[in-house]
Copies of this chain bind each other. A is one copy, B any other.
């Protein structure tokens, strides 16, 4: 196994709609073939214009109900509901929903922090796998380097306190590393071992990104990418979901 290195990409200022995100990242950091660029979903959403203000949103009656139960404001709740395909749990102070993409997370991923100003709300990218593929092509066009891209967001967990970053979009690597059928160190067949490498890469990147510092991307060097795929492969099929 090789060592792994993770570099924060610093020096990128506030992002807005239409900004060339890949160009800005490549301008601050010298990419190499095989690097994995982990980009925060917020940076992607800002450059794609997936940002809302109160004027964009008219809270429905149920958004007002949700606002009362969660202590959020009604505009925020309206966007949460627009992003949700399903409410998985509602409890005082918290709503956990399944987004239209199939991600299960608090507030459907809608975030008011680091949104670019008071009253602004950022939603997840509309097609994160598509955004990742586009960024990967942009990196190739601007630098000639063949990199993989992961778009990450922050998820809570069942049964554990605290959050971790997971992948919401990938391009240029398979999100899963499947060891099923391979032999262990004793020569015994391993069963049921399929590691979520894209999620582990997103988590690793969070460690050097921090929350408040405005670092939209982290470069992982030394990871051996295999295959190509989409985050949608990592969504639990309904017939295997024991926690609907």
* Nearest opposing residue in chain B for A115, CB measure: B186
Residues of B within 8 A of A7 (CB): 3
Please judge, given known A-B contacts A204-B207, A206-B200, A207-B4, whether A243 and B159 are in contact too, CB under 8 Å.
yes
Residues of B within 8 A of A158 (CB): 104, 158, 236, 241-243
Residues of B within 8 A of A182 (CB): 211-212
Chain copies in complex: 2
Candidates B112, B116, B203, B242; contact of A203 at CB < 8 Å: B203
* Nearest opposing residue in chain B for A183, CB measure: B212
Please judge, given known A-B contacts A1-B8, A6-B3, A203-B204, whether A185 and B166 are in contact too, CB under 8 Å.
no
In the complex, are the beta carbons of A186 and B114 less than 8 A apart? yes
- Interface of chain A, main secondary structure: loop
* Interface hits, A176-193 → B, CB 8 Å: 176, 179, 182-186, 188, 190-193
Residues of B within 8 A of A223 (CB): 207
